[in-house]
Structure formats: C-alpha cells, structure tokens
Amino acid sequence: MQRFILKNKNRITLLSAILIATAYISKWTVGNMEVFTWALIIASVIGALPIAIQAYQALRVKVVSIDVLVTIAVIGAFLIQNYEESAIVTFLFLFGAYLEQRTLNQTRSAIKELTEMAPESALKQMENGEFVEVEVDDVDEGDLLLVKTGAKVPVDGTVFSGEGYINEASITGESLPVGKEKDSKVFAGTILENGTIQIVADRVGEDTTFGRIIELVEEAQDSKSQAERFIDRFSKYYTPAVLILAFVVWFITKDVELAITLLVLGCPGALVIGVPVSNVAGIGNGARHGVLLKGSEVITDFSRVDSMVFDKTGTLTVGNPSVSDTIYYDDDSSEVLGYLASIERESDHPLAKAVLQEIGETAFYDVDNTEVVKGGGIVANVNGHRVTVGNVALMEKETVHLSDRALSDVEQLVKSGNSLVLTSVDGELKVLMGVRDQIRPGVKENLHQLKKLGVKNLVMLSGDNQGTVDVVSRELGLTEAHGNMLPEDKSAYIKKLQSEGQIVAFIGDGVNDSPSLALADIGIAMGSGTDVAIETSDVVLMNSDFSRLPHALGLTKATANNMKQNIIIAVGVVLVLFAGLLFSEWVSMSVGMLVHELSILVVILNGMRLLGFKLRS
C-alpha cells in the first residue's frame, strides 16, 4: 500500500489540486459550504498520506525529516478544523516536491546526455571477412571495426584505413570536427560526421575514455563537499530543534495554530538542497566542456587556488619535438639530407624522429660501420663518406671545423631553447638543425586568463636544462621557472609553496608527475596522459586541451559563489518568515509553506544557471 501511494504521488497532487479548486468554486459561486468543507477534508487526507508515509520511513531510521514537521503541522491544523490550511499546505508541499524533482533532473542532464551518447552496437569483422553488427559488449581488444558516416565510434581505437571527420564534443566539449586518417586515435562515443573508417579496438567497455568519463562524473555528482556534510549534520539537529521549539511555544502560549505555523516555517528544505544542486550543476557543466571535476570537495579547493605549477613537456608544450630552424653550409643540400635521413631512420631517439619528419621524402643510402657515441650522436659510413650526426661536443671530438658563422648560429639556437643536430661529411659541417618542443597554441592567452581569474603565481618545473626552461618561461610570461628537476624535486617544491600558506594546483601528464599530482591541493591531469596520472588527479582536462583550464577555474569559482548565494537565500527566507510571524500578521501556515517551496525552487533555479556557464574572454 505504501509503495502504491508513493508511486502515485504526482496523481495524488493533481487530485488534491482539483479538490481544492472544487471547494473554492462551490463556495464562491453557489455558497455551498458543505461541499467546500468536505472537499478540503478529503484533499487534506489524501495529500497527507504520502507525506506521512515518508515521515514514518524517516522516523524508522531515527531521522526527524522535513516530512515529519509537515505531517505534525497538517495533523494539528486538521484537529483544530482549519481545513483550508491543512489542504493547501499538503498540496503546496507535494507540488513543490514535484517541481523540485523536475528541475533537479535537469541539473543532472549532463550525465544523462553522456549516458545516452554511449554506443550500443558495432560493425565487427568476422572470420569470413564480412562486417556484422554486434553488441558493443561483444567487441574485444584487437578487433577490426567498421564505422560509417553518422555512426558512433564504439570503442577507443586506431584508424586502420579510411579517413573522415569526427565530432569529439562528447570527449573534449569542442564541436568543430577533427580530421582522422590512418594511425589517428579515435574515442568511443564520438560521431563520424563524414567518411568511412576501419579501426582497431584498443580499449573497450568501461576502459574507454568515454566509459571513464561517465564513471568519474557519476562518482563526482554523488560525492559531498565539506559544506554539504556540515549542512547534513546541521539539519540533523536543526529539525528536531524546530519541533521542540514549536512544542515549547504551544505549551507557553496555548496557541496551536502559532505552533504548527512555526513547524512549517522552520522547514530547512532550501538550505539542505541549495549546495548539492550547485555542485551537481557545476560538475555537469564541466563534463559538457571537456573538464572532469572529481567531486564537490574539488570544486571548493580549486576555486581558492592562488598558485599553479606546471610540468613543461606535454603540458605547456606539445610534447612532440620538431625542427624549428635549419641552416645549410653547402649549396648542394639534397644529398647531405639523404645521408642524414639514412642514419637517423636507424635511431629511435626523439630528435631523430623530428629530423626525419622535417626532411620528408628523400633518397636513402646504405649505412655501414655505425658507431653510437653515448651523449654525443652517431658516426657512420654512408655512400663512401664518413658522416657524423650529433652535438657540438661530437663535432669537436671528430675534429670537424666550426667556422665563426657556425659558432654564432649554434649560440643563437641554444639561446632560443633548441637542442642541436649538426651534420658533417668528411670533416666538413654541412647542416645545422635546431630542434625544440613547440609551445601549445594559445597557451600564453590561457595563462593570461588564469591571472585575470586570480592566480597569483604561475610556476614551471621541468627536467629539461635551465636554458630551455628559461626560454619557454620568458615567452609565456611565467612567474618562476626551474629546470633540471627530478620528480622528488618537484614534490619538494610543492611542499615548500604549501608551507608558505599557498593553495597549489599542479598540472602534468606523465608517470613522473603522479607524486606531485597527489601531493598538490589540486592535481590536474592532461586527458591523453598516463592512466596513473589521471587516476591520481582531482581534475582531468580531456584530450589534453589546455584551453579548458581557465574554463575549469572560472567554473569552480562560479560554483563556489553559487553555493554561498543559495545558503544566504535559504537562511534569509527563514529569518524573514520568522520575523513576519513575530512582528506582523501576514504569515500564516499556508503562506509559510508557499514561501518555503518557492525558496527551494529559487535555489534550484539559481544552481541551474551554472549549466550555461561560459568563461568571458
């Protein structure tokens, strides 16, 4: 019976509204007081049923809930035959609960939209070579899948063949399509807007980036901040206190109506719901914009950050070295570039990959008698010539003459933060290349936004040499920059900042960043970083989109302010109602319930504003 009544609570609300309308229509039109009275009595009884059941369930677990206060107030009004008050209060309470649920569902719309985006099927290549539609749970790592125009990518994978443009808004929050071709990475839940591709499954099910997003957002929305936990404890004692106060007022004044009005006015609904709705809406907005905030506590701490510490490689820079300058000391460079490419293609060093990418298509030669000089480079015979590829120290060791012009070029490239790749043929310098990790596009503007949002210190810590670090620091306008830092050095530096009273956020992407991510007040991981870095962090920037960082900080500040606004609204309404009850005659039981429900809707709607938050440029 209890389950049936609670299941049909919305229908009971509608029936209660009809009965109340019937009562007043009969009174105002034909003056039938009997219909007026009985309609209100029935409305009071059926309206009180679901409230009383919820009150009983709360008392069974030793909790004095809002439902308990309202139930006692309605029973009191009924006993003194104030049927108007009892009927209107029950209706307003039920209707308010209905509106609250509707609006709260909208604040959780982000996770709902994400869940609906989850792919359910995939076209999997079978043993006979044909592609057959199967459930996504039947896809294993290594399977070859076909994705057609308009279809969702079912797993995280690598493009095996074909090309097209994919909308990655579900992962990054960026609506502009991203071009994909062979060897490109694709993510589950994204949509192929045009083209046809075949992909090899790398991660499936809950292990996909999309699956992890849903899991993290669900966990975050269910978590509670310190403010929420305090309000929970407060309401646990506040509600019984209101009940005792009402009893004392009745005992002293013998005014039952005043006592039951006090019960209604003391309902802490807006206070209890104001903070959670802000947090849920803030986390939802972050999920839509490629920012995962792992819980309500993170929002509060992140909003107060005054120092941000960055790893360099893969965070402020792309993490993929490329050739920035090439200087030739010979008119015929094509043959020398062929010699250089022939040697470098046998190396797996990051600098070698950058050089090969820069040279592109060229003629390759046989390489003999290769000698790898540790910390220097490579010496080998190519096409009958002795070719040396490496740094200045190796050139000096091989007695390669460096002219004044070459030395000047070397000095200039080093000042610009480049690593050097020199190439000599038969003892003569032919080519000088400067290789550097390029700064992420837009990072300088993003850092400026962070300063505008109140971050006082922007610090870079890197394992690279101090010269390279200083170049990047000057270009980006950082507060401090420290090179030659081991993981333990970074952690020690963060401890130092914290000991000075600073609230520190650390942003990184590698395994070596994990200790710092865990130690900082807020750890922020780049989404394409290592699993351990993502798991250790408090905030994840999906797809390593650094431009989401200012949005994340602005969002947490807006959410923290929104929580404070809701608390002020909730407490303010209760104080105004109590003042009205004591010093005027306009506050009645039904008016108090109406204002109470309106205050709940106000804090919910105020929290929902965060769903549309966008950082002003």
CA gap 194, 190 in Å, rounded: 12
**226 and 306 belong to one structural domain:** no
Q: How confident is the model at residue 512 (pLDDT cuts 50, 70, 90)?
A: low
* Among candidate residues 544, 577, 604, the one where a domain is terminated: 544
532 has pLDDT over 60: no
Angle made by CA atoms 477, 481, 483, in degrees to the nearest 5 = 140
Residue whose entry in the numeric block shows the structure tokens 């994400």: 114
Shared domain check, 393 and 250: no
Contact 74, 33 (CB under 8 A): no
First-to-last C-alpha distance (Å) of the chain: 57
584 & 608 share domain: yes
Residue 227 predicted with pLDDT over 60 = no
> What is the reported pLDDT for 90?
82
Residues 413 and 352 reside in one and the same domain: yes
Q: Which residues make beta-bridge pairs with 309? A: 459, 506
> Does residue 306 sit within a domain?
yes
User: Beta strand 156-167 with 178-180: parallel, antiparallel or unpaired?
Assistant: antiparallel
527, burial (CB in 10 Å: exposed 0-12, middle 13-18, buried 19+): buried
Looking at residue 381, its pLDDT comes to: 92
Residue 7 has pLDDT above 70, yes or no: yes
The runs of H, that is alpha helices, within 332-421 are: 333-344, 350-359, 392-397, 404-415
Which tokens sit at 585?
Answer: 């005659």
Residue 73, pLDDT > 60, answer yes
The closest alpha carbon to 487, from 473, 505, 506, belongs to: 506
Q: Are the C-beta atoms of residues 506 and 481 closer than 8 Å to each other?
A: no
Q: Judge whether 107 and 559 are in contact, CB under 8 Å.
A: no
pLDDT of residue 527: 67
311 is an active site residue: yes
SS3 193: strand
What does the alpha-carbon distance between residue 378 and residue 411 come to, in Å, rounded to a whole number? 22
Using the 3D structure, point to which of 490, 516, 544 is the last residue of a domain: 544
* pLDDT value of position 489: 84
Q: Tell me phi and psi for residue 473, to 5 degrees.
A: -65, -45
Same structural domain, 313 and 345: no
84 in the same domain as 20: yes
Report the 3 state secondary structure along 2-39. Answer: HHHHHHCHHHHHHHHHHHHHHHHHHHHHCCCHHHHHHH
Half-sphere exposure of 139 (CA within 13 A, CB side): 34
pLDDT at 239 over 60: yes
Dihedral pair phi/psi, residue 81, rounded to 5°: 60, 30
Q: Is the pLDDT of residue 488 over 70?
A: yes
Q: Which residue has the higher pLDDT, 555 or 237?
A: 555
Residue 472 confidence (pLDDT) above 90 = no
Spatial distance between the Cα atoms of 258 and 248, rounded to a whole number of angstroms: 11
Q: CA of 260: how far to CAs of 44, 74, 209, 376, in Å?
A: 15, 8, 54, 87
Judged on CB neighbours under 10 Å (0-12, 13-18, 19+), 128 is exposed
The first and second tokens of residue 148, run together, are: 């057609």
Contact between 58 and 71 under an 8 Å Cβ cutoff? The reply is no
67 pLDDT tier (thresholds 50, 70, 90): confident
Is 210 a member of any domain? Answer: no
Kindly tell me if the per-residue pLDDT of 531 is higher than 70. no
Query: pLDDT confidence of 158, banded at 50, 70, 90?
Result: very high
- Residue 328 in this model has a pLDDT that exceeds 50: yes
65 occurs within a structural domain: yes
CA distance 497 to 490: 11
Task: Using the structure block, give the residue that is written with the tokens 């609230």.
Answer: 503
Q: Which of 67, 311, 521, 545 is catalytic?
A: 311
On the question of pLDDT at 111 being above 60, the answer is no
Which pLDDT tens digit goes with each residue over 18-56?
A: 998 898 888 888 888 888 889 988 988 888 888 888 888
Residue 283 within any structural domain of the chain: no
E strands in 407-488: 419-425, 428-436, 457-461, 480-482
Question: 540 is in which domain, residue-wise?
Answer: 291-319+440-544
Q: Are residues 271 and 299 in the same domain?
A: no
Same domain for 362 and 432?
yes
Residue 286 lies in a domain: no
**Number of folded domains that form the chain:** 4
Q: Is residue 209 part of a domain?
A: no
- In a shared domain, residues 160 and 65: no
Instruction: Report DSSP letters for 234-247, one per residue.
Output: HHHHHHHHHHHHHH
Q: In this predicted model, what pLDDT tens digit does every residue of 367-422 receive, in sequence order?
A: 888 888 876 788 999 988 999 998 888 899 889 989 999 999 988 888 877 878 89
pLDDT digits (tens, 9 = 90+) for 250-299: 888 787 777 877 777 777 667 777 777 788 788 888 878 888 887 777 88
In the prediction, which pLDDT does 217 show? 57
Q: Give 530's pLDDT tier (boundaries 50, 70, 90).
A: very low
**Angle, CA 592 vertex, CA 251 and CA 11 arms, to 5°:** 115
Which residues, including other chains, have CB under 8 Å from residue 310's CB and lie 6 or more apart? 316, 458, 459, 460, 461, 478, 506, 507, 508
* Token pair of 411 as six digits: 């000095």
pLDDT above 50: residue 238 = yes
573 pLDDT above the threshold of 60:
yes
- Averaged pLDDT, 307-312: 89
Dihedral class, residue 121 (left if φ above 0, else alpha if ψ from -120 to 50, else beta): beta
Mean pLDDT, the chain, rounded, equals 81
**555 part of a folded domain:** no
The pLDDT value given to residue 115: 61
Question: Pairing state of beta strands 367-373 and 419-425?
Answer: unpaired
In this structure, are 263 and 348 located in the same domain? no
pTM metric for this prediction: 0.66
Task: Provide the token pair at 164.
Answer: 């097209």
Phi-psi category of 126—alpha, beta or left, where left has phi over 0 and alpha has psi -120 to 50? Answer: beta
> pLDDT over 70 for what percent of the chain?
86
Percentage of the residues of the chain whose pLDDT score is greater than 90: 17
Gyration radius (Cα) of the chain, Å: 34
Domain boundary, last residue among 436, 462, 478: 436
Residue 346, phi then psi, degrees to nearest 5: -90, 0
Are both 332 and 429 inside the same structural domain? yes
CB 403 within 8 A of CB 369: no
Could you tell me the two tokens for 384?
């009958």
Per-residue pLDDT, 478: 92
Q: Is 582 exposed, middle or buried (0-12, 13-18, 19+ CB in 10 A)?
A: exposed
| CATH number for 492 | 3.40.50.1000
SS3 309: strand
Q: Are 469 and 483 in contact (CB under 8 A)?
A: yes
For residue range 337-367, list pLDDT tens digits in order.
998 999 888 776 667 888 888 888 888 888 8
| Same-domain pairing of 23 and 70 | yes
- 163, 196 contact by CB (below 8 A): no
Q: Say if CB 553 and CB 229 are below 8 A apart.
A: no
- Domain-embedded: residue 34: yes
